[in-house]
């Protein structure tokens, strides 16, 4: 066997698969941004066809045979080749277990389910979405069974987004964090409240919000030659190296919603843009996991974007853009307003302190419906009960309750825990960046974001899938992932803010 020839053929074949997958991504982006409503039936069939083609490409018997031949002699390959081989084999092994007709049905149903969710949320009508969600759960269980997880369907879901994670591991992680977090939340909520009424007196024109947000993410490093920003019902990032697309949604009464969503999605985009050019469309040129992805988005949105130093630099420009709305609002009042800690019904608008409680309740709900412990029809009531339990607030409707997130409509069951894992990873990376670069607040106050981004690119982005998520964080920081840096970060920031 000519190992190099086989390897080159394998990579060319895998890159063709990636090209087909990119077509699917663009179709999904179009569906969620500009596509007319009446195009849904046709788009569902288009996505089913494309995703079916991608699946058949990835499971071509001749190439799978070459993959297995190379795996038998992988010790004789270079380190880069072994990494690509390992990750391609993992992907192929998963794909070969799932029938192509199931892949197409999941794709077809996802397009329809997402459209139904948009309509249901707009109408505050969970019953409209319920049969689509029930079918999505059924399809994901069929997929789990095909993958060998018939008795552990939630593990199959988790493994798609965070390879190697299991329900017991995630449950322990979230429980450990919850035990540390809840007492801290109570301390903050018992302290003197900050007021955001000063920044909500006048409307913020959407065109000005967009202009300012684009300026901010450009300063952070977002390259508009390989990325764009649009509007959608729920903010998201899609695409890959060379073509990364992000979205936000606007509220004329509160610029914080669009602005921090833009910064969050830009964090995802910066990760994709920072992946190594020489490994594009191979595993070494792909992000390692959703939790690491979230470590980037949450870091840029919160650690940087909600810091006093960040607004020391950007606030003069913001006041110039909105002189009537913010002309009389001091910097410190604005800083307090973007860091108000208060139980929030909407996850994407939640503060850093209570945010992870949103993840706990979603984790508990989705693991319950995957285990068959709760019926879809009962989800609205269960959601209200969980919101009351963890956040002590009442959900007045389903649109801002069980229907508020896009994830389940797209089959992204098991995605939510990666947000909390990303928070923990991001806080741990922050401590190492501070150790290497000094006080990043000094850099932010001067508008010098390049050193921070370059550190992330050196220690996270450029590594692609060379290591597992846990290995990557440990190599970058010298320590295994833990909740302690995140709790230290909260104490350092919110202790002074709330005079604890």
Q: Which residues face 227 on adjacent strands?
A: 244
Tens-digit pLDDT profile for residues 231-252: 998 899 999 999 999 999 999 9
Average pLDDT taken over every residue of the chain: 95
Q: Which residues face 237 on adjacent strands?
A: 246
pLDDT over threshold 90, residue 348: no
Buried b (16+ CB within 10 A) or exposed e, 387-411: beebbeeebeebbebbbbbbbbbbb
Residue 272 a catalytic site member? no
Residue 3 has a pLDDT of 86
Tens-digit pLDDT profile for residues 377-428: 999 999 999 999 999 999 999 999 999 999 999 999 999 999 999 999 999 9
- As a whole number of angstroms, the distance between CA 56 and CA 67 comes to 15
Q: How far is CA 397 from CA 355, 369, 464, in A?
A: 20, 21, 42
198 pLDDT tier (thresholds 50, 70, 90): confident
Q: How far is CA 232 from CA 221, 258, 312, 422, in A?
A: 22, 11, 30, 23
- As a whole number of angstroms, the distance between CA 113 and CA 106 comes to 10
Helix axes 3-33, 79-97, angle to 10 degrees: 60
Dihedral sign of CA atoms 123, 237, 258, 412 in order: positive
Tens-digit pLDDT profile for residues 258-307: 999 999 999 999 999 999 999 999 999 999 999 999 999 999 999 999 99
- 152 Cβ neighbours under 8 A, 6+ residues apart: 144, 166, 167
Residue 326 burial (C-beta neighbours within 10 Å; 0-12, 13-18, 19+): buried
Domain ranges in the chain are: 3-149, 168-497
Which pairing describes strands 237-240 and 243-248: parallel, antiparallel, or unpaired?
antiparallel
Tens-digit pLDDT profile for residues 62-103: 999 999 999 999 999 999 999 999 999 999 999 999 999 999
- 225 Cβ neighbours under 8 A, 6+ residues apart: none
If you average pLDDT over residues 213-229, what whole number do you get?
98
What values do phi and psi take at 248, rounded to 5? -145, 180
Task: Find, among 385, 422, 419, the residue nearest to 402 by Cα.
Answer: 385
Residue 372 has a pLDDT of 96
CATH classification code of 168-497: 1.10.1370.30
Query: Could you tell me what percentage of the chain is helix, strand and coil, using 3-state DSSP and rounding each to the nearest 5?
Result: 70, 5, 25
Which member of 162, 265, 301, 366 is catalytic?
265
Task: Find, among 231, 178, 238, the residue nearest to 412 by Cα.
Answer: 238
Residue 279 has a pLDDT of 96
Residue 228 has a pLDDT of 97
Q: What is the pTM of this model?
A: 0.92
């Amino acid at each position: 066997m000519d190992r190099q020839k086989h390897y080159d053929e394998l990579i060319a074949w895998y890159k063709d698969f990636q090209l087909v997958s990119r077509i699917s991504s663009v179709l999904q982006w179009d569906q969620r941004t500009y596509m007319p409503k009446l195009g849904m039936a046709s788009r569902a069939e288009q996505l089913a066809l494309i995703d079916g083609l991608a699946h058949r490409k990835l499971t071509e018997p001749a190439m799978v045979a070459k993959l297995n031949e190379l795996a038998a002699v992988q010790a004789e390959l270079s380190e880069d080749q072994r990494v690509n081989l390992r990750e391609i084999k993992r992907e192929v092994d998963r794909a070969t277990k799932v029938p192509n007709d199931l892949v197409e049905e999941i794709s077809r149903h996802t397009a329809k389910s997402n459209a139904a969710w948009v309509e249901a949320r707009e109408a505050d009508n969970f019953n409209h979405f319920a049969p689509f969600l029930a079918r999505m759960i059924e399809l994901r269980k069929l997929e789990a069974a095909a993958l060998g997880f018939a008795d552990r369907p939630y593990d199959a879901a988790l493994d798609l987004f965070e390879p190697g994670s299991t329900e017991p591991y995630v449950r322990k992680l979230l429980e450990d964090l919850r035990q540390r977090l809840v007492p801290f939340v109570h301390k903050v909520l018992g302290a003197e409240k900050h007021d955001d009424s000063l920044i909500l007196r006048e409307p913020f024109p959407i065109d000005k919000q967009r202009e300012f947000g684009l300026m901010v993410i450009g300063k952070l490093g977002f390259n508009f030659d390989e990325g764009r920003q649009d509007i959608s019902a729920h903010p998201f990032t899609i695409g890959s190296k060379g073509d990364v697309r992000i979205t936000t949604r606007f509220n004329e009464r509160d610029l914080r919603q669009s602005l921090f969503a833009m910064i969050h999605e830009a964090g995802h985009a910066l990760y994709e843009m920072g992946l190594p050019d020489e490994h594009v469309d191979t595993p070494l040129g792909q992000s390692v996991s959703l939790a690491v992805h979230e470590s980037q988005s949450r870091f840029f949105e919160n650690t940087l974007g909600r810091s006093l130093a960040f607004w020391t630099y950007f606030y003069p420009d913001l006041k110039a853009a909105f002189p009537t709305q913010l002309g009389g609002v001091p910097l410190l009042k604005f800083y307090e307003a973007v860091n108000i800690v208060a139980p929030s019904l909407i996850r994407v608008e939640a503060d850093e302190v209570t945010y992870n409680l949103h993840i706990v309740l979603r984790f508990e709900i989705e693991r319950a419906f995957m285990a068959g412990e709760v019926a879809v029809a009962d989800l609205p009531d269960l959601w209200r009960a969980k919101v009351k339990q963890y956040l002590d607030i009442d959900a007045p409707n389903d649109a801002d309750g069980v229907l508020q997130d896009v994830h389940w409509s797209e089959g992204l069951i098991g995605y939510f825990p990666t947000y909390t894992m990303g928070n923990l990873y991001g806080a741990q990376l922050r401590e190492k960046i501070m150790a290497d670069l000094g006080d990043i607040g000094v850099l932010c106050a001067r508008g010098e974001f390049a050193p921070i981004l370059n550190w992330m690119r050196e220690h996270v982005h450029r590594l692609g899938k060379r290591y597992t998520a846990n290995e990557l964080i440990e190599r970058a920081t010298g320590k295994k992932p833990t909740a302690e840096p995140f709790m230290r970060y909260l104490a350092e920031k919110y202790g002074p803010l709330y005079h604890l």
